[in-house]
Amino acid sequence: MGKSLHCTLLQLENLHPYRRNLEKILAALEEEESSKLIVAPEVCLTDYDYEHLEAAVAFGEEAERILCEKVEEQILVLTRLVKRPEGYANEAIVIHDHRVVHRQAKHKLFLLGEEDRYLIPGEVEEIRPFEIDGVRYGLMICFELRFKELWKRLEGCDVILLPSQWGLPRKRHLEILARALGVMNQCYVLVADSAREDMARSSLIASPDGGLVLEDLAERIRGELDLNLVKKLRRYIKMR
């Protein structure tokens, strides 16, 4: 594990037609070349377009192919709508070295948003650590941040990724919970939230010592993760 990791969080609106959203991500990959890790908001390609689920799934498949061709040494994280044998799901994908290296579907659906009417939940076992280039990552999707039993599943991760579409009325909750998760699990927490008008924005980098980089207005939030800080805190403050 190296000393530092440059990252970029994308704080994007959902544009129409869908292709405009893909173009934003492709531009970021090219222009943020120094960032090893790029995280985009939840369902950033199509939004929760329940009226056109088949079209959203088809575009997501096309976008995934294009992004896999593009992504080399960088790591790109986003979620997209997919069709599984049991039904439609919101699936996070992590792309690195021209392939998807991790997939997990949203396990905790947001009932206030009626996600359960249209989507099936992923299995809790999908929420598990994964490793890239010696860094141990974990991932949760938006609403899942509220569940402490999921925090426990990601103990030992160096970086927890959180693509989100977190609503404006609960803005403070997002900021508090993300910082608490970073301190509790002694890791970095990266939130990429939607820039829709009804969303919290609050894209942030929470560090294991309680530090915070928070930005509501920028389309791209840049930061550097000091991975030695994770090792240092775990050495001196024993949690297990």
List, for the chain, all residue ranges whose pLDDT scores fall below the cut of 50: 1
- The terminus-to-terminus CA distance of the chain in angstroms comes to 21
Residues paired with 123 in a beta bridge: none
Distance (Å, whole) CA 182 – CA 202: 16
Distance (Å, whole) CA 7 – CA 77: 11
- Render pLDDT for 48-80 as a digit per residue (tens, 0 to 9): 999 999 999 999 999 999 999 999 999 999 999
Element at 173 (helix H, strand E): helix 171-184
Distance (Å, whole) CA 203 – CA 220: 9
Is the full-model pTM beyond 0.75? yes
The CATH homologous superfamily for domain 4-236 is Carbon-nitrogen hydrolase (3.60.110.10)
In this structure, are residues 75 and 96 in contact, taking their beta carbons and an 8 Å threshold? yes
Element at 82 (helix H, strand E): strand 75-84
Distance (Å, whole) CA 67 – CA 149: 32
151: which DSSP letter?
Answer: H
* Beta strand 135-139 pairing with 75-84: unpaired
**What are the extents of the domains in the chain?**
4-236
In this structure, are residues 174 and 163 in contact, taking their beta carbons and an 8 Å threshold? no
Model pLDDT, residue 2: 56
107 phi and psi, to 5 degrees?
-90, -40
Model pLDDT, residue 235: 94
- Render pLDDT for 146-174 as a digit per residue (tens, 0 to 9): 999 999 999 999 999 999 999 999 999 99
Helices 19-31 and 53-70, axial angle in degrees (round to 10): 20
